[in-house]
Amino acid sequence: LGRPHRVEGVVVRGAQRGRELGYPTANVETLPHTAIPADGVYAGWLTVGGESMPAAISVGTNVQFDATERTVEAYAIDRTDLDLYGLHAAVDFLAYLRGMEKFESIEALLLCMAGDVKRARDMVAAHEKEKDAA
């Protein structure tokens, strides 16, 4: 403990919905027997090629879209320009934000995601500031 939990794998193509929603995510294909945190939304980091980026992370089956496959997806905050397919990535979990939900509409999901991203950004920034001060 005392260190965020890390999950690693290759970035694979998801349902390609994220880009349309405005939150493109890196779907990290973890190795079998990887300890994946409980379904939900988390604040943390996506690290690729030595660069760590603050991220809002989703673990679950994307119930909003009636998907059945459990995925670990990280949205690198404000980085809508990334093309990470095929690259090795690490996802670090800093804090649990909420459970996976099925909303009444996509708009409601997007509204909630905007709040998640804001909270994740603030929490990561606060954590990094604390670490720098130590």
If the CB atoms of residues 2 and 6 are measured against ligand FMN, the closer one turns out to be 6
Residues 26-65 that bind ligand FMN (CB under 6 A): 27, 41, 56, 58, 62-65
Closest distance to ligand FMN from the beta carbon of 32 (Å): 20
First to last CA, the chain: 18
The residues, ordered by sequence, that sit 6+ positions from 88 with a Cβ below 8 Å of its Cβ are 8, 9, 10, 11, 48
Which residues, numbered 77-106, are part of the site for ligand FMN (CB under 6 A)? 100-101
Which residues in 101-130 contact ligand FMN (CB under 6 A)?
Answer: 101, 109, 113, 116
Which residues are CB-contacts of 41 (< 8 A; sequence separation ≥ 6)?
Answer: 56, 57, 58, 59, 96, 97, 98, 99, 100, 116
> Tokens 């980085």 label which residue?
79
Whole-number minimum distance, CB 132 to ligand FMN, in Å?
25
The residue (of 66 and 132) whose beta carbon lies closer to ligand FMN is 66
